[in-house]
Amino acid sequence: MKKYYQYIVILLDDTSVSYCHADNPLKEKRLIPLEVLREAILFSMKENLMIQFVYPEYELPKEYNDLIETIDHIKIGKDVLVYDSVPTNVERKNVVLRLAIADFLAKQYDIALLLPKVTRLNISITDIENFKDELIEDYRTALEMLNSVLLNIYKGGNSPEINILTDRLRLNEMHNCDAGVENITLAPNGKFYLCPAFYYDEQMGVSTRMNHKTKDASRSVGDLEVGINIPNKQLLELERAPLCRICDAYHCNRCIWLNQKLTWDNNTPSRQQCVMAHIERNASRDLSNKLKDTGFVLENEIKEINYLDPFDVKEEF
Ligand code: SF4
């Protein structure tokens, strides 16, 4: 099925906050030139793309703010606040917590205390490669605890979202990150990338694109002049991912950057990503059943399964 770009991520500076799995290793300020920002907004208007501007920590010059306010957008780093640790309080209702798995497990009760204060909490684990099978039970137990807190809040009439537990409740088809398929990233250098992580890799000289011959670490897929040009774009799509297309962990990020890092293939997931997503999927099932028992009406039925990695049972599909 052909998909069209729906939104664009515009990194306003090299030091714009990271809001997902990949850390931003770039420490020197490099503000997007005003003219490039103007062209990027024009491109987005022509292509009918919703814009997500990603902010650095410092204040932008007035002319940048004025230009940004000429178009509808979301401000990541401002409207959506990103934390690299668990705060005691949150200054926005929509927040991202970027945590290593050990920190997530260690701070799970502090995270639970944030739930009544937010409308949406996105948990992004920054070292999925470190998720070992020995952590399966710990992760499952932590999600069970968060479920019980959520259940009480829901009974009280509020319904905060937490990506790893509540997104799956209302999904009946894949809703992944879809970098390069439904969205694209523009960096301060005026070039397009599949997502910010590919830009960071390029800037740090990391080239792990094993199926492409490259003399340098170039990871761009076009620029504002030539447009978006992704070689073999179809290879990023769900239909070309044999495991993912028959999986029902619909909330899974299906992170292509992580795939490439861990399996050397954009569309082949790692065991770590699949196992974590299935523990979350199963926790969503538990939450769904408990909500239904309490009288909530949820149309989705999440069936019981006996595996955590679809690769283990692929013969059954
Ligand atoms: S859990 Fe694994 S197979 Fe399922 S969508 Fe995520 S990456 Fe793909």
Asked whether the predicted pLDDT for residue 2 surpasses 60, the reply is no
**Lowest mean pLDDT segment, chosen from 125-129, 240-244, 313-317:** 313-317
Structure tokens at 43: 């491109």
CA of 252 to the centre of ligand 1 (A): 6
Sole residue written with tokens 């639970």? 112
pLDDT in tens, 208-241: 655 455 566 788 999 999 999 998 888 899 999 9
C-alpha to C-alpha distance for 12 and 5, rounded to whole angstroms: 20
Report the SS3 class of residue 143. helix
Residue 129 CB coordination number (10 Å): 15
Q: What is the pLDDT of residues 165-196, one digit of tens each?
A: 999 999 999 999 999 999 999 999 999 999 99
Model confidence over 276-303: pLDDT tens digits?
999 999 999 999 999 999 999 998 899 9
Backbone angles phi, psi at 84, to 5 degrees: -100, 10
Question: Do you know the residue count of the chain?
Answer: 317
What letter would DSSP give residue 236? G
**How far away, in angstroms, is 254 Cα from ligand 1 center?**
6
Q: Which helix (H) or strand (E) holds 96?
A: strand 94-99
Select from 273, 276, 279, 305 the residue to mutate for testing ligand 1; criterion: most ligand atoms less than 8 Å from CB: 273
